[in-house]
Amino acid sequence: MTPDDLFETTTSTSFGGGWPTVDSEFKTELLEQLRRGPVDAVNDVDVAEALALLLHSDFMAFGTGGGERLSDAEARLALRALRATCARLGLAIEVPWQDFTSFRSYWLAHDGYGSWAARRQMVGEAFEPLLQRLYRLQEQVPAGTVVAPALNALTDPAVITEHLKRLAASVDTDPRLAVSVAKDLVESTAKLVLRERGVEYNPKDDLPALVAQAQQALRLHAAGVADTTEEAKALKTILGSLSRLTQGVTELRNQVGVGHGRDSVPGWVRPRHARLAAGAATTWCNLMLETLGDPEAPWRA
């Protein structure tokens, strides 16, 4: 996503012909949605990068030669949406103004009068550290990795990719959030497997029920291994362990994750615990999705 994607562009031609006119309108409705929570089909990391680039460019333009694309109200909305999106990613953003008007007041109070260089530095200090974090997130391998063959098994892997990026963003900065995301990754994987297999499920089912149903749909359920050979016994043990692994992620999330009205904060949670949960979740996710996409998998027989 680029800053241009945050605008709706229309082209019109005046009556009688002549040169076409191109109009650009800021997508305020999208920004309002981003303030309230994640938006389907919009990746938080991508939209945060686009917003940060747009605001960096516009505040730089306003502080120097002019030519900003946003109005004062639009800049204020964009900053609010960026703050909300970054909060979901576990990223801090420190911009000491809210819009162009307050930016002017800020530079007047901080030796920016008559100095474009000083204003450039202010804008750079406000946005460039965040942009560097976002660039690293785009390239970062999360605590657990879902391999390409697994993602390719899905018609649309966007929700899995989104969970992985949130894991990458939160494992070190907010391990409790990462534990919650790990549980969400397992749940989304189970639902996607069932959807791809055309199996109806109750969205209100708890995670163990969804996991069991998804594993049964791919013939990966321990109870379905009937052979009595040593190899079959080993496979049955592993499959049973995988189910218990996801149950462990769920229980850890219930104990320390975000999203519950707690009366205290579990302060013992460290990044290593989040990495453990992320690794467990992605191990299960890989097996499920690779099996889903394997043209020779037993469930196809």
Helix H or strand E encompassing 234: helix 230-256
pLDDT above 60 (res 140) = no
Backbone angles phi, psi at 8, to 5 degrees: -100, 120
pLDDT digits (tens, 9 = 90+) for 220-255: 877 666 666 777 778 778 888 888 888 888 888 888
| Average pLDDT over every residue of 14-24 | 67
pLDDT digits (tens, 9 = 90+) for 32-77: 999 998 887 788 888 999 999 999 999 999 999 889 999 999 999 9
pLDDT digits (tens, 9 = 90+) for 141-177: 455 667 677 888 888 888 998 888 888 878 877 888 8
Please name which of 208, 210, 289, 191 lies closest in space to residue 246, comparing C-alpha atoms: 208
Q: Which residue in this structure is represented by tokens 């592993």?
A: 238
| Average pLDDT over every residue of 203-228 | 84
pTM for this entry: 0.55
17 CA to centre of own chain = 46
**Single-letter amino acid, residue 264:** S
84-96 CB burial, b ≥16 within 10 A, e <16: bbbebbbbebebe
pLDDT above 80 (res 277) = yes
Residue 9's DSSP bridge partners are 24
CB 55 within 8 A of CB 80: no
CA–CA distance, 107 with 120 (Å, rounded to integer): 10
Helix H or strand E encompassing 8: strand 7-12
Per-residue confidence (pLDDT) for residue 299, from 0 to 100: 87
Per-residue confidence (pLDDT) for residue 250, from 0 to 100: 87
Per-residue confidence (pLDDT) for residue 262, from 0 to 100: 57
| Average pLDDT over every residue of 199-212 | 91
256-282 CB burial, b ≥16 within 10 A, e <16: bbeeeeeeeeeeebebebbbbbbbbbb
CA–CA distance, 267 with 154 (Å, rounded to integer): 37
pLDDT digits (tens, 9 = 90+) for 181-198: 999 999 999 999 999 999
Which of the two residues, 18 and 250, has the higher pLDDT score? 250
- Where are the domains positioned within the chain? 3-139, 148-300
Per-residue confidence (pLDDT) for residue 269, from 0 to 100: 80
Please name which of 117, 123, 138 lies closest in space to residue 50, comparing C-alpha atoms: 138
CA–CA distance, 90 with 87 (Å, rounded to integer): 5
CA–CA distance, 180 with 262 (Å, rounded to integer): 14
